[in-house]
Structure 1
Amino acid sequence: MKITIPVNHNYYEEAPIHESVLGVAFGVNKSGIKNVQNLFSSLHELKLGSEQLKQIKLFSFKKSSFFEPDEERLILKLYSKEKLEKEKQYFVQTGLYAGTLFYKGCKINITSNHGDVFLKRMLNFVNDIYIDNEQVKAKKDETVNQFLFIIAYLFIQSLEKAAVLGLPQEYKTQRERSHKVRGAIDFNAYLKQDIPFQGKLTSVFKERSYVQEIIDVLYLTLRKLESLFGKEIHNRLLGVNQLLKQNYSGRYVTNDTIRKAKLHPSINNPLYSSFKKVLDYAEIILLENDLMSDDSNSNMSTTGYLFDIAELFELYIEKLLNKNFNEWSVNAQQQIDIYKHKFYMRSMFPDIVMKNRDNNKIAVFDAKFKKMEMINKDVDRNDLHQIHSYSGYYKTEIITAGLLFPLSNEINIEKSHSDSLYGLVGNKIKFLIDGVYINDKLSMKELIQKEEEFIERIGAALNNY
């Protein structure tokens, strides 16, 4: 059984699944409906940090993420409601984590709801790797494809950084029979073969060589990505790719090969320790078709892979602003400590703080990967209060504050930009709700045009003070 749902889904319970169409909604026959009902009663709710999620691999785009320990980090919630004299309704809610989960024989795909073009565009900004030309064709399974896009980028980025100091090597004992002596003479071989002496000796020496299991895993991972996304996927790794090709053993990688590569002593060397993460990504890519083990139906634990798509969006907005406003410094997750030395001291972390290099004026923004159709209920009360708290901290230095979203509708500046904070007459701090307009039908060229329109609006808000 497979469920495919987008992130940030059904927050207002606007999309109930009626019992009469339960089989159609989940693609099961009458005998499978009972399994769906059991799933809703047994899984119920998954949150980050819960005991149930110990076997979930969570991938991050940042070195560290900032959120309150008690902050709700919903991943998935399944529940049902019964109404008097009406059929039972089933609800699926998701948070801001995308990826694939496996539970009791059910595969749950949580996908980005803005299409592959926007996903690739965000990844381009985060990793500075470009695979968005029209020649790149991926396989048809879009639900898996989206997750593989993420892992592919993370794999390539981490391999590029790790390979700067070279691929993992180890010392191996070599034997050579020649006119020259390297290392020590093998006297046993001398006594057996070289009396009377014929001009050649067998010598034994140690030589550094690449770890074969690691070479094979990395090489075949690149080959698989190339088959899925085209050769452009590893344009940044041409030198590494050539080296891997030259040293590839020609053998197919098995689960045992991957295990030996991940456990090889060489990656405990600080010089090669960054390859641990590279091999984790490689394992997911190579075993993508075998993620569900044979005993998954009987396994009560939840396994899978997740990434924080809200974090990805924050990085995209940060780098988009940094790229287009050279006269401003753009800082992400800048720590603000309030009430220092008091027992109620707290730290706040605005997503983006921009500071003008000439006059030290400040703009502060929070990036929210949430539905935004430019209607009142889409603006969360807590988000609104939070950004106003940041604004109050910066006092007279601040000139603009706002919340930035992936917009589902085109923006109306008169309705979304305010000339004064709180809408108070005489307050010169601007407040805005804005973002980049996205839909899954936009081409990359059209998306870039929407980015330019967004930058133009932000520029006007920063310069008109």
Structure 2
Amino acid sequence: MQLNDCINIETKDCSLMQIPSEHLEAIKSFNTNAVAFNCFNFKTIPYTEESTSLLEYDYKNNSWWSSRYIGEANFKYNAQEYKLTIQPRFGELFLFRMFEEIFSIRLTHSTNKITKYNDIQFLIRKVISFIWVQLLANANKHGVPKKNVTRSYQGSKIKGKIDITKTIQSLTKRNLISSSYKEKAVDATISSIILRAYKILKTDYGLDSINLPDNAQDALNDLFAEMKDVNNVNNHQYRNIVYKDIYVSFKPLVDFSWDIIQRKNILNQEKSNKQNKGFSFFIDMAEVWELYLKSLLKRKLQPEGWKQVDVKHFVYNDKFYGRSIIPDIVLLKASQSVVLDAKYKRMYFFGKELDRTDFFQIHTYSGYYSINSNLIAAGLLYPITSKSDSIKLLSHHSKGLFGETASSTNFIVDGIDISFLNEDSISHDEKIVLMKEKETQFIDRLALTLKGTIN
């Protein structure tokens, strides 16, 4: 079948899909077979709060909606080739800015080249390559991870400690002394994970087109020089990696590399499954949004004494209705706490726009932290799509939980104003500057609330 015979279905994340009736069964079949493992996770614990379906059917209105994932997949239904493309609804600039913040990288200089391609899968893979390269460069501060290993030696001289048993056995045959000694060698498990990910990125992610920073290239040279063979690493070995303090900067790189390897293994399995053949992985934008906010808050509020923690609390442990609660963002400072939930949803500040489930969920978290600490603030954080200044946004901060003045807990509905991203009159470079200004304004508003100085 020729390329022009392929039927293209394009949409944006979290959007109503316009699908001709003759292709509805194909979409239904695709969504049934597209499962969560096709999603590339940037978090150790994947975002699991809501449905993991790539597409969702609205029974009430008899319509299909894309969910929070972006990506591209080729699939076949009744011998017909299809390509489904889901683009980020807030644009590539916002997507790249979030990645920049999360991974402390700079993609803006390459953005113009990247956006010439319409293939969202190409864009995603290229971004992942940039992230991996930067993580490698950042990690290589004191050389590649090494550890002491014991070597055996046989000869007329002694290296290290003599091995009595082996020496006696050897002397009867070859008249050689057996000894053992310790030396520094690269950590085989860590090195194998990094090098295997590197090879995958070269073949599948376009890493060859990226100029490697000196730190990254030096690390690869050292690893290849000492690792003659790249070993297969199992999950048990990966989970039991111990990082010395001097090499702890390699952990984000190794975790990211491990996820790349697992994605490759899954895609290889899919190739043998005719039903799933052609699937590509997707990125969960709700996960990216959460990580982006956490990075901003950590960078800006940590100097003020606030510590960000990842938590999972169990309630009613001894009851059949026991549950776990996992707030997105928790900040602690002495006995004080702040609990926030990141919501990757449009926010225009209409009366019924704030989802009922989201509203009660954050108040559940608030109740828990009010009992166990001095809860200073709680709230929901959105990409704000209605043009708003800080005065207007501060008006959505309540000085008391449930609107009660007796409460010392502030409740906020806030986020980062990205309404300007769709304005054609603003240049690409101006939008980047504005993006950072809006981030600073958001942090400043939150800081005012934490200090109890809002009007």
TM-score (norm 2): 0.66
Letter in 2 for 1:337: F
2:291 aligned to 298, 310, 315, which one?
A: 315
Letter in 1 for 2:285: I
Residues 139-154 of structure 1 aligned to structure 2 (within 5 Å): 139-141=116-118, 143-153=120-130
Letter in 2 for 1:94: S
C-alpha displacement at 1:37, in angstroms? Answer: 4.2
1:95 matches 2:67: yes
Aligned residue number for residue 407 of structure 1: 384
Structure 1 counterpart SS, 2:44: coil
Aligned residue number for residue 74 of structure 1: 53
- Partner Cα separation in structure 2 for residue 392 and residue 450 of structure 1: 30
Q: Spell out, residue by residue over 1:340-373, the C-alpha distance to the aligned partner (whole angstroms, 9 max, x if none).
A: 433333221111111224xx22211101111112
- Partner Cα separation in structure 2 for residue 159 and residue 220 of structure 1: 15
- Partner Cα separation in structure 1 for residue 314 and residue 196 of structure 2: 45
Structure 1 counterpart SS, 2:280: strand
Letter in 2 for 1:5: T
Residues 373-452 of structure 1 aligned to structure 2 (within 5 Å): 373-395=348-370, 397-411=374-388, 412-413=392-393, 415-439=395-419, 440-441=421-422, 443-452=431-440
Distance change in 2, residues 1:131/1:37 (3 Å): closer
1:60 aligned to 12, 34, 41, which one?
A: 41
1:39 aligned to 12, 26, 43, which one?
A: 26
Aligned residue number for residue 457 of structure 1: 445
Matched-pair contact (CA < 8 Å) for 1:155–1:282? no
Letter in 1 for 2:46: S
Letter in 1 for 2:316: Y
Aligned residue number for residue 199 of structure 2: 217
What are structure 2's unaligned runs of at least 5 residues? 1-6, 147-185, 242-252, 423-427
Structure 2 counterpart SS, 1:74: coil
Letter in 1 for 2:448: A
Letter in 2 for 1:463: K
Structure 2 counterpart SS, 1:444: helix
- Partner Cα separation in structure 1 for residue 111 and residue 52 of structure 2: 38
Distance change in 2, residues 1:235/1:405 (3 Å): farther
What are structure 1's unaligned runs of at least 5 residues? 23-32, 47-51, 82-88, 167-207, 248-260
Letter in 1 for 2:26: L
C-alpha displacement at 1:234, in angstroms? Answer: 4.9
Q: Which moved more, 1:388-397 or 1:444-453?
A: 388-397
C-alpha displacement at 1:437, in angstroms? Answer: 1.3
Residues 50-199 of structure 1 aligned to structure 2 (within 5 Å): 52-53=33-34, 56-65=37-46, 67=48, 72-77=51-56, 91-104=63-76, 105-133=81-109, 137-138=113-114, 139-141=116-118, 143-153=120-130, 155-156=132-133, 164-165=144-145
Letter in 1 for 2:360: H
Aligned residue number for residue 345 of structure 1: 322
Distance change in 2, residues 1:384/1:434 (3 Å): same
- Partner Cα separation in structure 2 for residue 448 and residue 111 of structure 1: 23
Structure 2 counterpart SS, 1:144: helix
Residues 3-22 of structure 1 aligned to structure 2 (within 5 Å): 3-10=9-16, 22=20
Letter in 1 for 2:450: L
Letter in 2 for 1:459: A
Structure 1 counterpart SS, 2:349: coil
Aligned residue number for residue 237 of structure 1: 216
- Partner Cα separation in structure 1 for residue 197 and residue 445 of structure 2: 49
Larger radius of gyration between Structure 1 and Structure 2: 1
Q: Spell out, residue by residue over 1:291-339, the C-alpha distance to the aligned partner (whole angstroms, 9 max, x if none).
A: x98x99x746672212222111111111101111122334344222323
Letter in 2 for 1:39: A
> C-alpha root-mean-square deviation of aligned residues, in Å?
4.5
Aligned residues: 368
Matched-pair contact (CA < 8 Å) for 1:327–1:356? no
Distance change in 2, residues 1:107/1:124 (3 Å): same
Matched-pair contact (CA < 8 Å) for 1:371–1:407? yes
C-alpha displacement at 1:218, in angstroms? Answer: 6.3
Q: Spell out, residue by residue over 1:143-178, the C-alpha distance to the aligned partner (whole angstroms, 9 max, x if none).
A: 234322443245436756699338xxxxxxxxxxxx
- Partner Cα separation in structure 2 for residue 351 and residue 385 of structure 1: 15
Structure 2 counterpart SS, 1:118: helix
Structure 2 counterpart SS, 1:217: helix
Letter in 2 for 1:447: M
- Partner Cα separation in structure 2 for residue 9 and residue 314 of structure 1: 20
Identity fraction in percent: 25
- Partner Cα separation in structure 1 for residue 331 and residue 257 of structure 2: 33
TM-score (norm 1): 0.65
Structure 1 counterpart SS, 2:38: strand
Residues 231-380 of structure 1 aligned to structure 2 (within 5 Å): 231=211, 234=213, 237-240=216-219, 265=231, 267=233, 270=237, 278=257, 281=260, 299=275, 303-325=279-301, 326-357=303-334, 360-380=335-355
